Structure 1
Amino acid sequence: MIKFIDLFAGTGGIRLGFEQALRKFDIQSRCVYSSEIDKNACKSYELNFGHNPYSDITQVEELPEFDFMLAGFPCQAFSYAGKRRGFGDTRGTLFFDVERLLKKYRPKGFLLENVRGLTTHDKGRTFETIVNSLHSLGYKVEYRLLNSSNFNVAQNRVRIYILGILEEDFEIKVQSDTGAIDSHNFIQRNGQKSLFEEERDFAVVKDILEAKPDSKYFCSEEFTSQLHKVIGSDLNQLHGYRLIDTRNGNSIHSWELGIKGDCTDDEIEFMNLLIANRRKKIFGTHQDGKALTKDQIQTFYTKENFDSVTSSLIEKGYLSNYDKKYNPVCGNMSFEVFKFLDPESISITLTASDTNRLGVVQNGKARRLTPRECARLQGFPDTYKLLENDNAVYKQMGNAVSVPVIETLITDLIENNELIIDKIANAKSYTLASRTTEQHEPKLAKEYALSNAEE
């Protein structure tokens, strides 16, 4: 029996992958404590695991004894701590609570998950702080940068996974692999495989689509009409397109759609040329380009109707003019879909803010992804229950951890370190009879009843 805790638990993705791996080896487990502060995520967790984990781990001092820690802790800036304390102080960050509990309870092992940027933040000093802290607590540490798309998950999602075992060397054979840099690169890398469907060992977007999605997820008639105006009669041409006003390339813009009012061909040409040229180094090094003067713009827009075109665009709200410099009025234009996924490739990384506006063209019709499809993009099985609150689910799946990655890592840990896992699993004997007598374990956060944790 392995007793574990699940911190910053979200909707339970790490726990689900952990338990799935243990079951493959007939290793019994028991979650003795879970913690999550987002109330909607807690509702999803309770719906699937039978107890509500609502609590603030920063305020929790006492926990039941446990053998293994799971934690998808949020990352905050370590710069101040690093500069002042030689990269050895994590106070003021949520990792401090992970560190605090590891130091107090000294579980045999842990699995931590975080964003890819943790490894490069503050020129790598943040990550150095964390690893040094874990070593100082007596843990041997292995970490891997892994892309979910390499684990039969149809999503480009790179995350850092940190495994630790107390005072014992261990081996992990899964190697870091950040995978394809985007969906186009994914097709280039894997396109040949798709010619042989029976040999395909990776998932793509079409694999996660529902056959008969609810009509409420289809794009409105107005937005669909606008898309047809730009792309033509065949909406399948939208595969891979992004709707954004700050980029050219495989993009559609608000002025092309007529979001603020229809534009003439010259107005569309003007805006597209402005977007394409304002980022050139000769005009500056601003990341998203800089405002340009009339003289600068006329180096690439050479038609004689500059004044009439710019006046019309300013009136419609597509263009601004401050200090005699012109700039696109960009930002979130409330597109119903901001990215149409290519069914033959992988999804872009799901995020909490934008997952609800990912789209796909299926059977010639444009629509948004359903919450279930987003769950599938994180590797959650269809047996995982979703809230009826769509917006909450979209946010949760944007924050979630890809279940198959966790399952693979823990499977790898078990297969290559049997003696260590045996020590963890057999450290104490938990028979069905003895479990009923464990009333001495405290109920520790007001909102969390430990008696509900038993499964």
Structure 2
Amino acid sequence: MENNLKFIDLYAGIGGFRFAFEAAGGICKFSSEWDKYSQLTYKAFHGETPFGDIHQINDIENQIPDHNVLAAGFPCQPFSLAGVSKKNSLGRLHGFDDPTQGTEFFKIKEILRLKKPVAFFLENVKNLKSHDNGKTFEIIKESLEKIGYIFETRIIDASKWVPQHRERIYFVGFRADLNISKKEILELFPDSPKNRIYELEDILIPEKELNKKYEEKYTVGPGTWDTLLRHKKNHIEKGNGFGYGLITKPYGDKITRTISARYHKDGAEILIEQKGKRPRRLTPLEACKLQGFPEKCYAFFNGLKTQPVSDTQAYRQFGNSVAYPVIKDIAKNISNFIHERDLLNNDLGINKKAV
């Protein structure tokens, strides 16, 4: 226990970061997730229910345990392209002007400022770096430097690990007093593996196993399919490539579009062709695999164990989640670096005076 890295899991969703750091030998000291349905899946996966709304914690120094690494996939809606467009259309503020979700980063900053862990590992949509002409990212950078942290970022496409295009920005940072260079931090971002962990055909349920249950439940309804066809036709006539994404055989080394939290609505971004029938959506089990989650999770979606939430909620959760294999590789590199540099002895209880 003394030599184990200790981490906290904030805006935890269904616990992708927790799986990653536990795979690297870490111990989770605290987790937080406000969504009640995500809490159910988190408990199914990890055996405990995370704390609810992080904003209910008013005494950070005493309510948040000491830890070596803060991990968080903080809410990205105010910074995503879709979120910005939607809020602009509604005349609402976004980013750091958002009075609600726009403040989530500042909660992370306050925990870092007061608890001073060795390192942090954050994930967000890639648009965060260009949001508001780079002003949002500059505020993040200045805020972290002001409280005594140095960090680097990299945008990584998960398609090198799993057959899904999923570009996200990853932050890895360390306390500045530890004298770790930015070059050393950059080296913690993993090189792409030579081969993906698995290909699309390893994820999709074979057609011979798609019985009536799957056909009835996951095949796109006639009304929805007509709407998707109409929208695609309109986009083509306008000269752009928008519309549904259809995966056809042979699968080979094909890669899907990014699965999103709206996938439950019509499955438009990833539809699987069915010969002589309307296409189907991914099943929750296939969505779980597409995000690369550990095999222990499969039992909750293949009938071996009770599914913790409805299909709708499962789609939302996997769409909002991280591409686990990417997170796992970065977490492993962070953990190894901390142990190799003997940084655990520079944390947990020292230098806690807030700056």
Fold shared by both chains (TM-score > 0.5): yes
- CA shift for structure 1 position 413: 2.8
Name the residue aligned to 1:73. Answer: 74
Which consecutive segments of 4 or more residues in structure 1 shift more than 6 A?
Answer: 220-228
Separation in 1, partners of 2:101, 2:284: 37
Q: Amino acid of the residue matched to residue 27 of structure 2?
A: R
Residue equivalent to 2:344: 424
Distance 1:112 1:122 in 2: 20
| RMSD between superposed Cα atoms in Å | 3.7
Unmatched 5+ stretches in structure 2: 79-93, 301-306, 350-355
Larger radius of gyration: 1
Instruction: Work out which of the residue numbers 27, 31, 34 in structure 1 matches 2:28.
Output: 31
**C-alpha deviations, 1:308-330, integer Å up to 9, x for none?**
xxxxxxxxxxxxxxxxxxxxxxx
Q: What letter matches 1:165 in structure 2? A: F
SS in 1 for 2:295: coil
User: Given the alignment, which residue of 356, 363, 371 partners 2:284?
Assistant: 371
Q: Which amino acid aligns with 1:205?
A: L
- Separation in 2, partners of 1:68, 1:79: 25
Q: Structure 2 vs 1, CA of residues 2 and 145 (structure 1 numbering), >3 Å: closer, same or farther? A: same
Distance 1:363 1:68, change over 3 A: same
Alignment of 1:225-304 (within 5 A): 243-248=228-233, 276-278=236-238
2:148 aligns with 138
2:21 and 2:27 in contact (8 A); partners too? no
* 1:154 Cα deviation after fit: 1.3
CA deviations 1:409-439 (Å, max 9, x no partner) are 122334456433x32278579xxxxxxxxxx
Q: Distance in 2 between matches of 1:56 and 1:166?
A: 26
Q: Kindly provide the amino acid, as one letter, of the partner of residue 105 in structure 1.
A: K
Instruction: State the 1:352 CA deviation.
Output: 0.8
Aligned pairs, how many? 303
Query: Cα offset for 1:204?
Result: 3.0
Deviation at 1:55, TM superposition (A): 1.0
1:397 aligns with 2:322: no
State whether residues 37 and 309 of structure 2, in contact with CA within 8 Å, keep that contact through their aligned partners in structure 1. Answer: no
The one of 155, 160, 166 equivalent to 1:157 is: 166
Inter-CA distance 279–119: structure 2 relative to 1 (3 Å threshold): same
- Mapped to 2, the partners of 1:408 and 1:115 lie a distance apart of 18
Cα distance between partner residues in 1 of 2:74 and 2:322: 11
**Alignment match of 1:411 (pick from 327, 332, 337):** 332
With structure 2 as the length reference, what TM-score do the two structures score?
A: 0.74
**In the alignment, which of 348, 351, 374 is matched to residue 257 of structure 2?**
348
Question: Helix, strand or coil: the match of 2:103?
Answer: coil
Change (3 A) 1:91 1:387: closer
Consecutive unaligned residues in structure 1, runs of 5 or more: 24-28, 82-89, 180-198, 231-241, 249-271, 281-286, 289-330, 332-337, 430-455
Q: Who is 2:87 aligned against? A: none
Q: Which residue number corresponds to residue 19 of structure 1? A: 22
What is the distance in 1 between the residues matched to 2:65 and 2:46?
18
Q: Do the aligned partners of residues 153 and 91 (structure 1) sit closer, same or farther apart at CA in structure 2, a change above 3 Å counting?
A: closer
